[in-house]
Amino acid sequence: MGKVVTSASTSLDGFVAFPNDDPGPLFDWYGAGDVEVVNAGDLPPFHLTQTSADYWREWTSRLGCLVVGRHLFDITDGWKGQHPLGVPFVVLTHEAPTDWAHAHTGNAHFVTDGIEAAVAKAQQIAGDKTIGVAAGTVAGQALAAGLVDEVAIDLVPVVLGDGHAYFAGIDPSEVRLGDPTVVIPSARVTHMVFPVQR
């Protein structure tokens, strides 16, 4: 089975968005270079440095499926069924929507019986490819359940002060990370990957 990796752009104080869900300056690095990266969905292309583009392409080429929470699904309208990364996604929710306009794309899968089931479903879809887990409550639940292999942090040199934490709703002592296996400084971001210590 593929690795399970949480991933998010993160401030120096550990937030992945302001309280109102705005990522603010955390996404500045998506416009910090001149290498065009095309989205699979209907978002416009973005422009990375060569360093970030190389990292991004390596990461996205390995991805087989994402696991996201219901809140992210709702605020993006499920990316209208086409995630920018071009992969299917599993939505962990208490109740699957019955009238979602983009259900016909077949790219969204709803799981209602917990994080283990959501990750298992994503692994079934992804085969040997990597499972990407969204930061926030879902990442917290996955980490607490011992399901996460790596924590990818795109570290942005800003402070948000308040907002949505990368790992939400868990005992911080659950977060036992090893030294980073990847440290790639770029423009407006340093790409880092930490293995989870079990």
Interface contacts to a copy of itself, rule CB under 8 A:
10-14, 153, 155, 157-162, 165-167, 171-172, 175-180, 183, 185-188, 190, 192, 194
Residue 194 C-beta: closest distance to a copy of itself, Å: 5
49 or 107, CB closer to a copy of itself?
49
6 or 107, CB closer to a copy of itself?
6
In a 3-state reduction of DSSP, which class is residue 192? Answer: strand
Query: CA 49 to CA 46: how far, in whole Å?
Result: 10
Contacts of 69 (CB under 8 A, 6+ apart): 91, 92, 93, 134, 136, 137, 138
Contacts of 172 (CB under 8 A, 6+ apart): none
1 or 32, CB closer to a copy of itself?
32
Is residue 32 a contact partner of residue 160, using CB atoms and an 8 Å limit?
A: no
Residue 191 C-beta: closest distance to a copy of itself, Å: 11
Residue 77 C-beta: closest distance to a copy of itself, Å: 30
Chain CA centroid to CA 34, Å: 23
114 or 178, CB closer to a copy of itself?
178
